[in-house]
Amino acid sequence: KNQVEQSPQSLIILEGKNCTLQCNYTVSPFSNLRWYKQDTGRGPVSLTIMTFSENTKSNGRYTATLDADTKQSSLHITASQLSDSASYICVVITWEGGKLIFGQGTELSVKP
Amino acid sequence: DTAVSQTPKYLVTQMGNDKSIKCEQNLGHDTMYWYKQDSKKFLKIMFSYNNKELIINETVPNRFSPKSPDKAHLNLHINSLELGDSAVYFCASSQPRLGTSGTISSYNEQFFGPGTRLTVL
């Protein structure tokens, strides 16, 4: 069964600190993996898109890694800001019709 | 200048009523989607239309009927609303890209609307 699991479910950190969010998946056949940021009351916005051959990709203070062998991905946030408070969703896309399989998200709260 | 817009943003209604949610995109994309996000925050695809044609129809009750008058609009009509229909509904659009073999690439990025929070009392 195609599944995407994220950990932790929620995380509270102080402003300026770093954090890492985890994503494990059992999706096959794999096409690409995305991390989305969803602010409260808004739709998800894409942060990174990684294909099978990419190990790491950065977008400003966000760095995503992908290990296609172990089927794991992580999203590292450097020097967190209050505006980073949001839900971060890992999404894996299959080759079969480009179907998106969503994780349940990690709720990040950055405190001053 | 909103790329994908939905109306209304909030919808509160009684069980048994019929309601519609509208979605419009000004990105010129060919494909549009409807997703449902439940209380546990999981997003699940409901429907996908490409150039006004239905291409994905997940196991959704037939009380839900999407309608695409043109490729910039995909509306969702829900009949006989039930308590379990309470959720946030997201519209999205994308422009599929051709892969190297000429097939539709799965790489296409989806742009989401702001969501419609439906509450059924």
B4, B40, B106 ranked by CB distance to A104: nearest: B40
Q: What pLDDT score was predicted for residue B102?
A: 44
* A31 near B CB under 8 A: yes
A43-65 in b/e form (b: 16+ CB < 10 A) is: bbeebbbbeeeeeebeeeebbbb
Mean pLDDT rounded to a whole number for chain B: 87
Out of A8-17, A96-105, B36-45, B85-94, pick the least confident.
Answer: A96-105
**Which of A50-54, A73-77, A84-88, B55-59 shows the lowest per-residue confidence on average (mean pLDDT)?**
B55-59
Residue B95: band (very low, low, confident or very high) from pLDDT cuts 50, 70, 90 = confident
Please, which pLDDT band fits residue B13 given cuts at 50, 70 and 90?
A: very high
At B113, is the secondary structure helix, strand, or coil?
coil
Instruction: Please give, rounded to a whole number of angstroms, the shortest distance from the CA of B101 to a CA of chain A.
Output: 13
Partners of A1 on chain B (C-beta within 8 Å) are none
Are A57 and A48 spatial neighbours (Cβ–Cβ below 8 Å)?
Answer: yes
> DSSP code of A7?
E
Is B5 part of the contact surface with chain A (CB cutoff 8 Å)?
A: no
B64 forms bridges with which residues in the sheet?
B78
Give the per-residue pLDDT at B7.
Answer: 96
Name the minimum distance, in Å, from the CA of A9 to any CA of chain B: 11
| DSSP letter for each residue of A52-108 | TT--EEEETTEEEEEETTTTEEEEEE-S--GGG-EEEEEEEEESSTT-EEE---EEE
CA distances from B105 to A51, A54, A69, B96 (A): 12, 17, 22, 6
A-chain residues near B45 (CB < 8 A): 99-100
How far, in Å, CA of A70 to CA of A22, rounded? Answer: 12
Residue B98 DSSP label: B
Cα dihedral sign, A84-A68-B42-B56: positive
Distance from C-alpha of A62 to C-alpha of B66, rounded to nearest angstrom = 36
**A11 vs B61, residue with greater confidence:** A11
Contact B41 A94 (CB under 8 A): no
Q: By three-state DSSP, how is residue A79 classified? A: coil
Residue B64 has pLDDT above 70, yes or no: yes
User: Measured between beta carbons, which residues in chain B are less than 8 angstroms from residue A97?
Assistant: 55-56, 106
B57 at interface of A, judged by CB pairs closer than 8 A: no
pLDDT exceeds 50 at position B83 = yes
**CB atoms A98 and B112 under 8 Å:** no
Question: Do B4 and A43 count as a contact with CB atoms less than 8 A apart?
Answer: yes
B75 backbone φψ class: left, alpha, beta (φ>0; ψ -120 to 50): beta
State residue B39's pLDDT score. Answer: 81
